[in-house]
Structure 1
Amino acid sequence: MTGTTHGRTGGPLDAFDLGELRARHSSKWREYPQDVLPVWVAEMDTPLAEPIAAALVEAVGRGDTGYAVAGGLPDAFAAFAARRFGWRTDPAAIRLVPDVMAGIVEVLSLVTEPGDRVVVNTPAYPPYFYWIPRIGRELVENPLLLTPGGHRLDLAALERDFAAGAAAFLLCNPHNPTGVVFGEEDLLAVAALAGRYGVRVVTDEIHAPLVFPGARHVPFAGLDAPAAARSITLASASKAWNLAGLKAALAVPGEEARADVARIHPEVSEGAGLLGVIASEVAFTSGEPWLEELLAGLDANRALLGRLLAGRLPEVGYQPPQATYLAWLDLRALGLGDDPAEWFLRRGGTALYPGPRFGAPGRGFARFNFATSGDRVTEAVERMAASLTGGPRAAASH
């Protein structure tokens, strides 16, 4: 591993050099030419946690690669949620789904009707914009408020959209791409509005294990409110333990939503991957020491990114995320148009996730994935800065 500076932690984020990462077959490292430094899609440059890797090697060794069943995964998740969040849920009521997005599609198909309105806070995870219309529902953009202290829910606008006839609210918490962790007071306000207007709440809590010190994840379904009892949560180990390609997630019902989740067809569950189930069970059971080491490295990188931007690109707006490993950068002051990521890809050899794909509030923004070594975070910012001064594209040597 080359390089010795810029926030080196010695943890999982520093395990691989650039050549090893470029040998990967995942979309992060195969989407762009090799001279491009990718900091776009939500994938981490880490090895697997050792207990997960050992379990997968053992499974492959015994040829355990058949159709998936949930096995011990619901129990493992329920125990993790109780330890981590104080949320107690019944594992017998949890159903296996292939991934969080597939689970959202299945749940919305069960609890809403064709033509129904589904409210989504924007900027929003890009696949929402594809899948919600694809199942015949109308996506209603409900922009978050951008304040000097960061993004927050616009409860007045949310009430207007609920009152206008919304059937469901798809809540992403912790929020992608802003990294905001919505507090209990706001979540209780959402629950009150949902109860008042008969709106079903479906929550994407895939980033819940990735919350930094100073913030606390509050599971929506754990709130003491009727709308929370009727809510359905989608959860997965995929983001926190870098398992997205293995395909396994869970639909977790509130107390009054068990019958809805029970209607998820077994064919849907069989779309999950058995290796994903095995890896996820181990993650929730034995993966917390690795997770804590990862979070320490990510915490260092979010601070490093702030220092780098302040020094090299001070015009860029940056609120350190409260969770996730994704930074939502306000690049509007640079005058690069609606899609500044295109500029940095073309002129700086750095691939960020284009802001407009997150909805109208994403114009002039881009998402930066800092789940890599501190050296590569530094390299990406240096390339971005050099692209604005006409300097040569820096070599990705770290």
Structure 2
Amino acid sequence: MTVPASPRPNPLTIPTLAALQARESAKWGRFEPDVLPLYVAEMDVEFAPPVRDALAKAIATGDVGYRTGTAYEESLVTFARERWDWPSLAVEHIVGVPDVITGYVDAITLVTEPGDAVIINPPAYPPFFSFVEGAGRRVEESPLTADFRIDLADLEAAFQRATAGGRPAAYLLCNPHNPTGTLHTRAELESVAALAARYGVRVVADEIHAPLVYSDATYTPYLTVDSERADAFSLMSASKAWNLAGIPAALLVAGEGAMEDLARYKSVPRHGPSQLGALAQTAAYTQGGPWLDDLLAGLDANRHLLGALLKEHLPEVAYTWPESTYLAWLDFSAYDLGGEDPSEFLHREARVMLNSGPMFRLGGAGHARINFATSPAILTEAIERIARALR
């Protein structure tokens, strides 16, 4: 008789609350012990076994020197071919960078000059604004639509403003989008590529959340649609999908039309990924697929649970259904909080920490971002606390 295989465990249910509270990283180490933190993009999971084993081997053998070789780049090529049907991606188009933020800032500074514009779609990941402005570039906002899609007419107007007088400009695209979990369609991205070609705007796509896409949606790598000029860049990393924020690494990928820029970038002295970061992410891409599938099943259950909890306890909170990521955008504007940021109110009154909506710029007032990558028990307790605080 064949004995059915036991289902693999949900990675989100393995760490106990006590084990999470003992952590010293930002999510659990920053606030008071009674606060449930559902804010910063860290997941409440342990290492995927292949990642744990790769790191343990490196530490046990002292293999913590400088990185060499192309195993990390090759692992993305294989992962992209198998997961995203992207057979044309090649190692020659990829260079390692310390992290995604460094990568997109470097790409933007490579194709623009100080004072040039970078278009961003708010509400958007706060470091898009702060790091772009810190690099001496000017942010040109093109807000998402009411249902959090790219507003192509507004984007074209932003491209026109950004390139007035013949100035270079870049478009920092978030695909999938943070904080809404929106997954841009192929048709939308093709329209973006056409507009970028028309106005000479260089697209830099932050695709760090690309592995975190649910089965009812399809992720399209931006570089697979930018065929007219193919001069865009993409930033890829395993850090979000396998919870490796503390040992970052990333890969800058150039389209065919950006290869000269990539060669120029490689010729300048710079730092690349750390050895531990590259080893961990190589293991994730090459051996971490089954764990990722288990994680996605747990996250999918949590996004449904979150929707059900909000419907039951907080029906006036508008919930943007995420097609990807473990982040959701909540609208608390139906509640009279006296103008207070919902995240500050809920930290004080509910002892639950969410990300501040105004930090995501235009469209963020009255909103908060929730990270539902935790156990169902913690997620349930957090929503029940919020409901009691808002009664």
Report the equivalent of 2:158. 161
Native 8 Å contact 2:197 2:228 kept in 1 = yes
Preserved contact between residue 338 and residue 365 of structure 1 (Cα < 8 Å) = no
Residues 81-107 of structure 1, C-alpha deviations (whole Å, 9 max, x = no match): 111111221112211111101101111
Alpha-carbon distance in 2 for matches of 1:187, 1:338 = 36
The 1-side partners of 2:270 and 2:108 are apart by 14
Unpaired runs of 5+ residues, structure 1, are 1-8, 390-398
| 1:75 and 2:77 are equivalent in the alignment | no
> How far did 1:267 drift?
4.2
Q: Secondary structure at the match of 1:333?
A: coil
Q: Report the counterpart of residue 166 of structure 2 in structure 1.
A: none
CA distance in 2, matches of 1:365, 1:316: 9
Q: Which residue of 1 aligns with 2:332?
A: 331
Q: Which residue of structure 2 aligns with residue 357 of structure 1?
A: 359
Matching residue's letter, 1:312:
H
Displacement of 1:339 in angstroms is 1.4
In structure 2, what is the Cα distance between the partners aligned to 1:346 and 1:225? Answer: 50
Q: Which residue of 2 aligns with 1:395?
A: none
2:216 maps to 1:217: no
SS in 1 for 2:139: strand
SS of residue in 1 equivalent to 2:292: helix
- Asked whether the equivalents of residues 68 and 269 of structure 1 are also in contact (C-alpha less than 8 Å), the reply is no
Offset, 1:115: 0.7
Q: Which residue of 2 aligns with 1:183?
A: 185
In structure 1, distance between residues paired with 2:265 and 2:359: 30
CA distance in 1, matches of 2:174, 2:275: 26
- Give runs of aligned pairs for residues 199-210 of structure 1, distance below 5 A: 199-210=201-212
Partner of 1:299: 300
Aligned to 1:6: none
Q: Compared with structure 1, are the counterparts of its residues 217 and 338 closer, same or farther at alpha carbon in structure 2 (3 Å cutoff)? A: farther
Gaps in structure 2 of 5+ consecutive residues? 1-7, 164-168
Q: Secondary structure at the match of 1:171?
A: strand
Aligned residues: 376
CA distance in 2, matches of 1:278, 1:297: 26
1:192 and 1:225 in contact (8 A); partners too: no
Out of 150, 166, 170, which is 2:172 matched to?
170
Amino acid at match of 1:292: D
**Inter-partner Cα distance in structure 2 for 1:25 and 1:261:** 38
Moved more, 28-37 or 83-92: 83-92
Matches of 2:265 and 2:141, distance apart in 1:
27
Query: 1:284 Cα shift?
Result: 0.6
Contact kept, 8 Å, 1:69 with 1:269, in 2: the verdict is no
Following TM superposition, by how much is the alpha carbon of 1:338 offset from its aligned partner in structure 2, in angstroms? Answer: 5.4
Q: Select the residue among 148, 152, 158 that pairs with 2:149.
A: 152
**Following superposition of structure 1 onto structure 2, how do residues 66-105 of structure 1 map, counting pairs within 5 Å?**
66-69=65-68, 71-87=70-86, 88-105=88-105
The alpha carbon displacement at 1:214 in A equals 1.4
Q: Which residue of 2 aligns with 1:235?
A: 236
The residue aligned with 2:25 is: 26
- Displacement of 1:388: 1.6
What is the distance in 2 between the residues matched to 1:73 and 1:290? 19
What percentage of residue pairs aligned between the two structures are identical?
49
The 1-side partners of 2:20 and 2:250 are apart by 26
In the alignment, which residue of structure 2 is the partner of 1:276? 277
Q: Tell me, what secondary structure is at the counterpart of 1:302? A: helix
Q: Give the Å deviation of 1:68.
A: 2.8
Counterpart of 2:259 in structure 1 is 258
TM-score (norm 2): 0.94
Aligned-CA RMSD value: 1.3
* Alpha-carbon contact 2:118-2:162 (below 8 Å) kept: no
Letter in 2 for 1:210: L
| Whole-angstrom distance in 2 between the partners of 1:157 and 1:89 | 31
Letter in 2 for 1:134: G
| Residues 226 and 232 in structure 2, CA contact (< 8 A), matched pair in contact too | no
**Partner AA of 2:107 in structure 1:** V
How far off its partner does 1:296 sit? 0.2
Residue aligning to 1:46: 45
Q: Note the C-alpha offset of 1:238.
A: 0.2
CA deviations over 1:306-352 (Å, ceiling 9, x no partner):
00000000000002200000010011111223511111001000000
What is the Cα deviation at residue 128 of structure 1? 1.3
Contact kept in structure 1, 2:54 and 2:280, CA below 8 Å: yes
